[in-house]
Chain A
Amino acid sequence: MSEVNANNIIDLIDISKTFGDTDVLLNFNLHIKKNEFLTLLGPSGCGKTTTLRIIGGFEKPDSGQVLYHGEDIQDIPPNKRNFNTVFQKYSLFPHMNIFENIAFGLRIKKLPEAEIRKKVTWALDLVNLSGFEKRKPDSLSGGQQQRIAIARAIVCEPEMLLFDEPLGALDLKLRQEMQHELKKLQRSLGITFVYVTHDQEEALTMSDTIVVMNEGRIQQAGTPVDIYNEPKNRFVARFIGESNIIDGTMLEDFKAQFAGREFICVDSGFGKNEEVDVVIRPEDIKLVPPDDGMLRGTVTSVFFKGVHYEMTVQQGDINWLVQSTVSENVGDTVGINIYPNDIHIMRKSEGDSFTQE
């Protein structure tokens, strides 16, 4: 567990926040390192936006500390904090043209006109919208408006940029394009990005660190690969991608029992005969001829999903979700193989509260 540290730009310590009767955040701890792309990921109502708003200064926690480079900034209003936010609804100023929108923060800082002009031009160029200076926000498409909102935030040269589901309103293709651009931007600017989303794919694509949240608590924090391959609990496993989660027993180190037989796995450190959750990703299940399989089941449904087929294979009372580029026929008997590397064991009790590692 990492603590307050000189490399952290923001530390949230024991933050609690209640709206009415609901606890939005409960003894929440978060440490944001300099120059990382950190994503707060979770379903709606999990407290991710509230966390972002507390960092931005738009919301005050009921208790706990917000540290910026180790100093408490709770009483500093948003206009005095050296971060900028890209809002969910773009929030461009409708009565100003694009130039004035981007120049707003610079004008507040009272920079000389020539410098403002230079910086606005630079920012517009950065988001590939040079030449849009004279346009009004409502004459731009959603994607363009979002880029302007990003340019408007970046031009202030903040130490950290906060993003509140900025791509939520864009269509899939545009969203994917913007994801790559944002990642590129973060690398080239070398500043900290804190990004809020409910879209797990978006989080996996862009982040250095993903913090999975649910009901005001951190479920797991780590790199995208860790989070995907080694979810700590059912919630994370379910939320990040699709998975088969099956009850099992850990017989001893590297040996688990589930689905009616023993499997070799790579997990250790569990108690003897401890009840566990076994997670197997649908793309890790191999379908083979019936006699070659470790398990045997019947195909009950097949759906074509574009990249792969999604199939359900019934084996006893377990319905395995399987993804494969080769389709089977409904009603066929197939063999199922699961290899040690693809088995992930989770403790049953895990799922309450986690601090970030």
Chain B
Amino acid sequence: MKKRLSRLYFYLVLLFLYAPILTLVVLSFNNNKSRAKWGGFSLRWYNELFHNATMMKALWITVSVALIAALISTVIGTVSAIALHKCRPRIRKALLDVTYVPMMNSDIVTGVSLMLLFAFLRIERGFLTLLLSHITFCIPYVILAILPKLYGINMSVYEAALDLGATPFKAYTRILIPEIMPGIISGFLMSITLSIDDFVISFFNTGHGVQNISILVNSSKKVGINPANYALSALMFGAVIIILLIMNFKDSKRSNVQ
């Protein structure tokens, strides 16, 4: 009885968590513009999505910002994590606290302050500022993903590489980077999801008609949401699920080996 109750509770939690998304997915296949009526199964909105130039452009911007931002922040984050790891503990602690501020900050503060900075520097808002802002908020997460891997490494492998004739650069690229690769990959994937996810910071730091999906959806809210958005959201949800599964699969494969 107790077991059944706890199981019921678990399913209820799942239901509450996923009911909105489930609604969205169901509606994305609804052959009717109304949210209240089921007009039968159809791929109409998916078709419309792929023929809607504005939405495709927004999707393109979202994806390209996510990929470029993830790539750049992964590179910067990896190098920073390695440097932090080499720092003396007290300095490292101080630098890490500074690094985590953007993470703890509410998005609106980060968003507004970046906007002000760009205005102060007279950088016109558009794709570049959008990209820069995304890189900014992704870096701490990359560092956070990589540092524990560095702590876990037996640093004498680095010395062993030097001992065998490798320059410090080669010792890093051939020995240490492969060792922390799982951290780098999860930092990269996390950056992609964070970037796709972001609305508030993007909202303050884009301009000149550069819209990513979250901004597009927000602006179309006033005129009534095009159900093609449901299709888009369903696709993005699917993409995130796939990324999560990949990350989980990689982790479990690693822990199986150990």
Contacts and interface: CB of A to CB of B under 8 A. Distances in A.
Contact of A78 (B162, B174, B179): B162
Nearest to B167: A79
Interface stretch (A89-97, A181-189, A284-292, A331-339): A89-97
Nearest to A77: B162
B175 interface: yes
B157 A93 contact: yes
B163 A108 contact: no
A93 B175 contact: yes
B247 interface: no
Contact of B164 (A77, A89, A152): A152
B6 interface: no
A293 interface: no
B34 interface: no
A87 B174 CA distance: 19
Contacts of B174: 104
B159 A104 contact: no
B243 to A, nearest CB: 24
Interface string A218-251: 0000000000000000000000000000000000
Given A93-B175, A94-B179, A105 B156 contact: no
B35 interface: no
B166 A108 contact: yes
Q: Which of A77, A85, A153 has the most CB of B within 10 A?
A: A85
B258 to A, nearest CB: 8
A142 to B, nearest CB: 14
The B contact surface, by secondary structure, is helix
A50 interface: no
A150 B178 CA distance: 23
B154 interface: yes
Nearest to B166: A108
Interface in A106-162: 108-109, 138, 152-153, 156
A286 B209 CA distance: 101
Contacts of A92: 157, 160
B170 interface: yes
Contacts of B156: 87-89, 91
Interface string B139-178: 0000000000000001011011111111110110011001
Nearest to A58: B159
Contacts of A109: 165
Given A85-B163, A156-B164, A91 B154 contact: yes
Given A58-B159, A87-B156, A91-B154, A104 B164 contact: yes
A88 B159 CA distance: 12
A95 B164 contact: no
A108 B179 contact: no
A80 B163 CA distance: 8
A148 to B, nearest CB: 11
B163 A84 contact: yes
Interface in B119-147: none
Contact of A87 (B160, B166, B175): B160
Contacts of A153: 163-164
A85 B160 CA distance: 7
Nearest to B170: A108
B161 A104 contact: yes
A158 to B, nearest CB: 9
27 contacts: A58-B162, A77-B162, A78-B159, A79-B165, A84-B163, A85-B160, A85-B163, A87-B156, A87-B160, A88-B156, A89-B154, A91-B157, A91-B159, A91-B160, A92-B160, A93-B157, A93-B160, A94-B157, A104-B161, A104-B164, A104-B166, A104-B174, A108-B164, A108-B165, A108-B166, A152-B160, A152-B164
Interface of B: 154, 156-157, 159-168, 170-171, 174-175, 178-179, 258
Closest 4 CB pairs of A and B: A105-B164, A91-B160, A91-B156, A108-B165
